């Protein structure tokens, strides 16, 4: 994990490298630190409470979503966990094979699949969540409760900005042109 010194240094070097072009430093610092913090927190959680039960961060988040919301349609779980439908299919398969999650057909809509925790999955989350929250407290240990609220609120605004205005923004950037297709990915048969 890179030290903080390097962020300031990188910003200085970047400014030098850009010459006359203006750089929004404060905004750059927010994005850089969001990314660093996310990596650091994920790494810590995976190597502390999750490692022992052989769960990845994503697998835990999926379990968490199903635990909190109860039996749910997969599209809802994917949305809430912040992963694509395709990714969820794979993660759910893994969790199902581990006996933590079970799938069921929707009673009236044949397109839907419902996910729920098994008893074992339920017990695991009961046991795991307090330990997880304990580490959430550890990583935020240098922040007061008020600091936490301030930071969380700032991050909420970032999320909200992207959620509410991101799509329009991306369209405007393209100026009516069709979005570039991914070079990787499935091709027509």
Q: Which residues lie near DNA (CB under 7 A)?
A: 39, 43, 46-47, 56-59, 73-75, 78, 82-92, 94, 103, 108-113, 179, 181-189
178 contact choice in its own copies, DNA, none (CB below 5 to 8 Å, kind-dependent): none
From the list 85-93, 103-111, 113-121, 142-150, the region that binds its own copies by CB under 8 A is 142-150
103 φ/ψ angles, rounded to the nearest 5 degrees? -110, 155
For position 6 contacting its own copies by CB under 8 A, the verdict is: yes
CB of 118 to DNA, least distance (A): 17
CB of 145 to DNA, least distance (A): 29
Closer by beta carbon to its own copies, 36 or else 103: 36
For position 165 contacting its own copies by CB under 8 A, the verdict is: yes
94 contact choice in DNA, its own copies, none (CB below 5 to 8 Å, kind-dependent): DNA
108 contact choice in DNA, its own copies, none (CB below 5 to 8 Å, kind-dependent): DNA
A 10 A CB-CB count for 47 gives 10
Which residues in the 71-90 window bind its own copies by CB under 8 A? 79-80, 82
120 φ/ψ angles, rounded to the nearest 5 degrees? -65, -40
For position 33 contacting its own copies by CB under 8 A, the verdict is: yes
For position 4 contacting its own copies by CB under 8 A, the verdict is: yes
CA–CA separation, 68 vs 80, rounded Å? 11
20 contact choice in DNA, its own copies, none (CB below 5 to 8 Å, kind-dependent): none
């Amino acid at each position: 994990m890179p030290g903080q010194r390097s962020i300031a240094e990188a910003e200085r070097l970047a400014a030098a490298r850009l010459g006359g072009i203006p750089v929004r430093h404060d905004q750059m610092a927010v994005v850089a630190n969001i990314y660093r913090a996310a990596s650091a927190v994920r790494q810590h959680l995976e190597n502390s409470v999750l490692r022992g039960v052989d769960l990845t961060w994503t697998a835990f988040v999926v379990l968490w979503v199903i635990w909190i919301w109860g039996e749910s349609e997969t599209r809802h779980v994917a949305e809430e966990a912040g992963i694509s439908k395709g990714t969820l299919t794979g993660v759910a398969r893994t969790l199902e094979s581990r006996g933590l999650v079970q799938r069921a057909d929707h009673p009236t809509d044949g397109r839907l699949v419902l996910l729920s925790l098994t008893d074992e999955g339920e017990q695991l989350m009961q046991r795991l969540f307090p330990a997880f929250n304990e580490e959430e407290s550890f990583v935020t240990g240098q922040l007061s409760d008020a600091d936490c609220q301030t930071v969380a609120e700032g991050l909420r605004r970032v999320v909200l900005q992207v959620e509410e205005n991101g799509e329009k923004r991306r369209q405007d950037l393209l100026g009516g042109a069709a979005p570039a297709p991914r070079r990787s990915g499935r091709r027509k048969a």
